[in-house]
């Protein structure tokens, strides 16, 4: 799955600033989260786009050479636990996590 986190955006002086609507500007980061075994099955069954989740795990770094011989780097979170904190945003999926278990 991909998890998005936000943090306040900062200007060159390190201060937060407002966007055009008067809200604190945010920067988003996208994190690849990998789940295995029963955790993967449960996340696949109950997790939907827009759903608020809490992920606990460890960061895993990878390095490889692409087809042109360029060294590439990657980062992912290997999940040990995923908690569902909200329902999905109604993106068309019928996933209803009312009975979704806490999983480790």
Q: Where would I find the beta strands (DSSP E) of 9-70?
A: 26-34, 53-65
pLDDT above 90 covers a percentage of the chain that reads: 81
69-91 pLDDT, tens digit per residue, is: 999 999 999 999 999 998 765 44
Residue-number span of the structural domain to which 26 is assigned: 2-91
Task: Tell me what the pLDDT averaged over the chain comes to.
Answer: 88
* Residues facing 53 on adjacent strands: 84
> What distance in Å separates the CA atoms of residue 102 and residue 46, rounded to the nearest whole number?
11
In a domain, 100, yes or no: no
Output Rg (C-alpha) for the chain, integer angstroms.
17
Query: How many domains is the chain built from?
Result: 1
Please tell me the number of Cα atoms within 13 Å of 12 on its side-chain side: 0
pLDDT in tens, 37-75: 999 999 999 999 999 999 999 999 999 999 999 999 999
The verdict on residue 77 lying in a domain is yes
Task: Give the tens place of pLDDT for each residue, 2-34.
Answer: 999 999 999 999 999 999 999 999 999 999 999
- What is the CATH classification number for the domain harbouring 87? 2.40.50.140
The answer to whether residue 104 is domain-embedded is no
103 is a domain residue: no
Which of 20, 22, 18, 47 minimizes the C-alpha distance to 33? Answer: 47
In a domain, 101, yes or no: no
| Integer Cα distance of 32 and 18 in angstroms | 29
- The answer to whether residue 48 is domain-embedded is yes
Residue 16: inside a domain: yes
Indicate whether 47 belongs to any domain.
Answer: yes
């Amino acid at each position: 799955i991909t998890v998005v986190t936000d943090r306040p955006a900062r200007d060159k002086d390190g201060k937060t600033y407002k966007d055009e609507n008067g809200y604190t500007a945010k920067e988003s980061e996208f994190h690849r989260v990998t789940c295995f075994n029963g955790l993967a099955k449960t996340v696949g069954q109950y997790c939907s786009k827009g759903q608020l989740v809490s992920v606990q795990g460890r960061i895993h770094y990878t390095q490889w050479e692409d087809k042109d011989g360029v060294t590439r780097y990657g980062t992912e979170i290997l999940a040990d636990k995923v908690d569902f904190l909200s329902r999905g945003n109604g993106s068309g999926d019928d996933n209803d996590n009312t009975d979704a278990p806490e999983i480790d």
